[in-house]
Amino acid sequence: MGKPTGFMEWTRELPTDRDPIERVKDWDEFHEHFPIVRLQEQGGRCMDCGVPFCHTGELIGGMAAGCPINNLIPEWNDLVYRGLWREALERLHKTNNFPEFTGRVCPAPCEGSCVLGINEPAVTIKNIECSIVDKGWDEGWIVPEPPEKRTGKKVAVIGSGPSGLSCAIQLNRAGHEVTVYERDDRPGGLMMYGIPNMKLEKWRVLRRIKQMEDEGVRFVCNTHVGIDIQAAEIRKQNDAVAICTGATKPRDLAIEGRDLGGVNFAMEFLRANTRSLLNSKHEDGDFISAAGKHVIVIGGGDTGTDCVGTSMRHGCKTLFQFEILPCPPEARADNNPWPEWPKIYRLDYGQEEAKARFGDDPRTYLIMTQKFVADENGNVKELHTVNIEWDFSSGRPTPKPIEGTEKVWPAELVLIAMGFLGPEDTVVEQLGVERDPRSNAKAEHEKYHTSVEGVFAAGDCRRGQSLVVWAFNEGRGCAREVDRWLMGHTDLP
């Protein structure tokens, strides 16, 4: 695979992102691309592994190790090295319906499990994946692939996020009539409104939606299943139903002052921002603005980073991000060996932008918010925190406040990005689907059939909050099992 001595001759390289100070002035994608020859060199670094771990997709230590959709990474790296780009695209599409999405928003667990990464910088898998599919679009190689014949079976997919899209496109290609229901005004779910434009430009999402429509998938937007139309009616109208609603119930922070103006969930902030950007380039003012405000983001995950990047583009006055966990180490700890996902310190795009503007990483670790304080108008003006240490004496980690570390922070906009607890109740309850102890729709992984005949569940509503790439894995797997249930057999991968 690749060049046998490629990793000895070429070091890992990535294209330089746009300058942080300049890119916060717009909402365009912040990534740049490499020239073809440099990409081929990077593909040539992929060594001929005896057992490549990059495409295993196993869960080790609770985290993905390798690609959850089992991308044929060594194969398309070799094809890129040899200049066979169209063949590389064909290999990429065998396992991934939307590589331009994963190539931009996936944290790349494949690179964390790269064999070369044991003692050298890993192969630049994510950047090569993105470059392959972008070239495919540029060259006109990606075209609609409608099925040759129809089965006469009807399937409803509830939710058009990553699991819903991957489930729908596969079911349609199997010949079923697929209708996707989306409560928002545009399809795409998380890909449309949960991830900001500079990370994933929305014309790329709409381009795939158009391809799916040309293949025969029907999208019904502005339709909240369970409210605008009863879930039982959807089940009656279709031979099967796939619940792909995601885990959209946010984890709240139940402390004094939570109901003050200016304290918002992260998704309220991100969704309104993108909708206003698409509708009017923010001219309608119909969004929560961070402009000129002291902003604090509570939560250190990807959603928190997106809140940081969005606030920077609004022109916030100050910005801090709170994380209750300790700062990760610069290199793998002894209890975090390869091929586990490396739990190390990273400066993501949002933090990079804040550091460029304000001089330092905006994150503060081992800190807990105690209360919000109001101004004379009932809006938040400050919040109080205390530093913590983790107490393991009871066998369960518990945050313990450190006396004397109390601090007051100015805050005019607080964004709660503490993760998600599970799916909203409406659809699952109306269909009578049994739940697991975490409130998710109960269905076995790789089978996806719920307790209700003909009703399947996939993605975050089944497994809990997870990576986009896991949602793609589950959506494709759910499509396969729906097809098998409907037809008695399946040819879907």
Question: Is 493 part of a structural domain of the chain?
Answer: no
Beta carbons within 10 angstroms of residue 285's beta carbon: 8
- The answer to whether residue 69 is domain-embedded is yes
Domain check: are 300 and 394 in the same one? yes
Q: Within this chain, do residues 425 and 401 fall inside the same structural domain, yes or no?
A: no
1 inside domain? no
Give the per-residue pLDDT at 63: 83
Give pLDDT, residue 48. Answer: 81
**What single string gives the DSSP state of each residue in 338-367?**
TTS--------HHHHHHHHHHSS--EEESE
For residue 445, the domain's CATH number is 3.50.50.60
Residue 58 has pLDDT above 70, yes or no: yes
Pair (262, 329) in one structural domain? yes
pLDDT of residue 372: 98
CA–CA distance, 273 with 251 (Å, rounded to integer)? 21
User: Exposure pattern of 214-236 as b/e (b: 16+ CB <10 Å)?
Assistant: ebbbebbeebebbeeeebeebbe
pLDDT at 57: 87
pLDDT tens for 423-464 read 999 999 999 999 999 999 999 999 999 999 999 999 999 999
Contacts of 456 (CB under 8 A, 6+ apart): 240, 241, 242, 243, 443, 448, 449, 450, 478, 481, 482, 485
- Neighbour tally for 148: CB within 10 Å: 7
Q: How far apart are CA 55 and CA 160, in angstroms?
A: 26
Q: What is the pLDDT of residue 1?
A: 63
What's the whole-number mean pLDDT along residues 58-81? 92
Q: Quick one: 265 and 393 in the same domain? A: yes
CATH code at 95? 1.10.1060.10
Query: Is 301 in contact with 266 (CB distance < 8 Å)?
Result: no
Quick check: is 147 in a domain? no
pLDDT over 80 (residue 2)? no
Whether residues 412 and 445 fall in one domain: no
Mean pLDDT of 125-138: 97
Residue 146 domain-assigned (yes or no): no
* Helices and strands (DSSP H and E) totals, the chain: 17, 18
- Checking if the pLDDT of 25 tops 80, the result is yes
Burial of 351 (0-12, 13-18, 19+ CB in 10 A): buried
Helices 202-215 and 162-173, axial angle in degrees (round to 10): 30
- The string of pLDDT tens digits covering residues 182-231 is 999 999 999 999 999 999 999 999 999 999 999 999 999 999 999 999 99
In a domain, 144, yes or no: no
Note whether 397 and 301 are same-domain residues: yes
Mark whether 292 and 332 lie in a shared domain: yes
Provide the whole-model pTM: 0.95
DSSP character at residue 228: T
Query: Does 492 map to a domain?
Result: no
Pair 219, 321 in one domain? no
pLDDT (0 to 100) of residue 60: 87
DSSP 8-state code for residue 50: S
> Domain tally for the chain?
3
Domain, as residue range, for 455:
154-248+421-487
The per-residue pLDDT of the chain, averaged, comes to 96
Assign residue 39 a region (left: φ > 0; alpha: ψ between -120 and 50; beta: otherwise): alpha
- Residue 377 has a pLDDT of 97
Same domain, 237 and 271: no
Q: pLDDT digit string (tens) for 154-173?
A: 999 999 999 999 999 999 99
Please report, rounded to a whole number, the percentage of residues in the chain having pLDDT higher than 90: 94
335 located within any domain: yes
Q: What is the pLDDT of residues 256-276, one digit of tens each?
A: 999 999 999 999 999 999 999
34 and 114 share one domain = yes
The percentage of residues in the chain with a pLDDT greater than 70, rounded to a whole number, is 100
As a whole number, mean pLDDT of residues 64-86 equals 95
pLDDT of res. 49: 87
The reported pLDDT for the residue numbered 50 is 84
**The dihedral sign for the CA sequence 12, 97, 473, 307:** positive
Q: Is there a single domain that holds both residue 116 and residue 24? A: yes
The beta-strand segments (E) located in 228-325 are 240-243, 249-250, 263-265, 294-298, 318-323
Query: Same domain for 290 and 304?
Result: yes
